[in-house]
Structure 1
Amino acid sequence: MRILLVLAHPLEDSFAAAVADTARKALQAGGHEVDWLDLYRVDFDPRLSPAERRGYFTEPYEVSGLSDMTSRLKAADGLVLVFPQWWFNFPAILKGFFDRVLAPGIAFRPDPAGGRILPQLTNIRHFWALTTTGSPWWVVHLYMGNPVRRLLKRGIANFCSKRLSFRMLTLHDMDRATDAKRKAHLARVSKAVAAIR
């Protein structure tokens, strides 16, 4: 299986980078082909251009400047995102990836009759998010309602593909996590990702 593994963190020595590396090794050990995409290292521009925005309303859609990334996404059987949650949301660079790469004609197609979105990423069978948050579990789930999970599962995953496996693994209270807790989380990530079939 071909997995597009997307990392969204500015620091090369971050815990997110360690999570991504752990996931990559587990996937490769399981016989999967990993397509590694580090958004910061490729200097991805998250800003939606005027031409791209205008292209949302015309066919063919304007994604010519992103043909490499869109072709990689269309060639993948699975998508694994690795990122920190900042202010209970995505890093700006990852939000820009969604805005620019998960575009009409690539990830979905507007229904000409209006109202609905028709999924186009039917090749994606696994959609995973490996993430961290500085807040404790109860703040994310009980107070905030787990907004990142809702956006990923109910919004992006369900609108871009059907019948996929969605999973999200989060290390909560990251700012106070001990070395032992971080190592335990990496082991959890490795075990979970190794089970992808």
Structure 2
Amino acid sequence: MRALIVLAHPVAESFAHAAAARVGATLEARGMSVDLLDLYADDFDPRLSAAERRAYFTPGFDAADCAPYGRRLQAARKLVFIFPQWWFGVPAILKGFFDRALAPGVAFAHQKGGGLTPLLTHIDALWAVSSTGSPWFVTNLIAGDPARRDIARGVKPWICPKASFRSLTLHGMDAMTRERGARFLDRLEREFQRF
């Protein structure tokens, strides 16, 4: 079974990288094949070009610029997004991945007259792991947990609607201690035993 981990953080010694390493090691210990896609290390271009946007609704949309990413998505049975929350959302590079790699013909097909048909229905789990500087009550009660909502309601239903979904967030990164970070990594290991 193949798991694709999409990592979106520019700093190699970041907590997101540590989380990706722990999740990857946990899944490999369970016998899964792990494909780590580090968007920054891969120099992924998040910008949707004018040509791509103009062709987005045309039959046979050409996703050649992102074809390697499409193949990795199509080969995955499980999908994990790991990222920091900046301004209560995903980093621009991950939003660009949604815009460009989750393309027509790869992640969904346009239906005649409107609507979408999901094409990544073989993915049975889509989980998000994130961190935020804000405390829980600010992220959830004041801001409405937008990063979770965007992935749970704006991405998953249109590409893999039957996949399980979890969102695991470490809040209060601005007051982070080594002990809290270690406890969250241990929690990730426990949670991903059930992934």
Specify the TM-score bucket, using the shorter chain as the normaliser.
Answer: over 0.9
Given that 1:84 and 1:132 are in contact with CA atoms closer than 8 Å, whether structure 2 keeps it comes out as yes
Match of 2:20 in 1: 20
Q: What code does the residue aligned with 2:193 have?
A: A
Give the RMSD, CA atoms, in angstroms.
0.9
* Rounded Cα–Cα distance in structure 1 between residues aligned with 2:17 and 2:101: 22
Q: What code does the residue aligned with 1:166 have?
A: F
Match of 1:44 in 2: 44
| TM-score, structure 2 as length reference | 0.98
Given that 1:75 and 1:123 are in contact with CA atoms closer than 8 Å, whether structure 2 keeps it comes out as no
Q: Secondary structure at the match of 1:67?
A: helix
Percent of aligned pairs with the same amino acid: 49
Give, in angstroms, the shift of residue 108 of structure 1.
1.3
* Rounded Cα–Cα distance in structure 2 between residues aligned with 1:54 and 1:108: 17
Q: Secondary structure at the match of 1:57?
A: coil
| TM-score, structure 1 as length reference | 0.97
* Rounded Cα–Cα distance in structure 2 between residues aligned with 1:163 and 1:97: 21
- Match status 1:95 vs 2:98: no
Match of 1:138 in 2: 137
Q: What code does the residue aligned with 1:71 have?
A: R
Match of 1:71 in 2: 71
Give, in angstroms, the shift of residue 55 of structure 1.
2.1
Question: Once the two structures are superposed, what CA deviation does each residue of 1:160-197 show, in whole Å capped at 9, x if it has no partner?
Answer: 1121110110000111021110000000011111222x
Given that 1:51 and 1:62 are in contact with CA atoms closer than 8 Å, whether structure 2 keeps it comes out as no
- Match status 1:62 vs 2:62: yes
Give, in angstroms, the shift of residue 146 of structure 1.
0.7
Q: Secondary structure at the match of 2:74?
A: helix
Spell out structure 1 runs of 4+ moving beyond 4 A: none
* Rounded Cα–Cα distance in structure 2 between residues aligned with 1:163 and 1:6: 20
Q: How many residues align?
A: 195
Q: Secondary structure at the match of 1:129?
A: strand
* Rounded Cα–Cα distance in structure 2 between residues aligned with 1:113 and 1:54: 18
Question: Structure 2 unaligned runs (5+)?
Answer: none
Q: Secondary structure at the match of 2:18?
A: helix
* Rounded Cα–Cα distance in structure 2 between residues aligned with 1:93 and 1:70: 16
Question: Structure 1 unaligned runs (5+)?
Answer: none
Give, in angstroms, the shift of residue 51 of structure 1.
2.1
Question: Once the two structures are superposed, what CA deviation does each residue of 1:133-170 show, in whole Å capped at 9, x if it has no partner?
Answer: 10000001110111111110111001111211101100
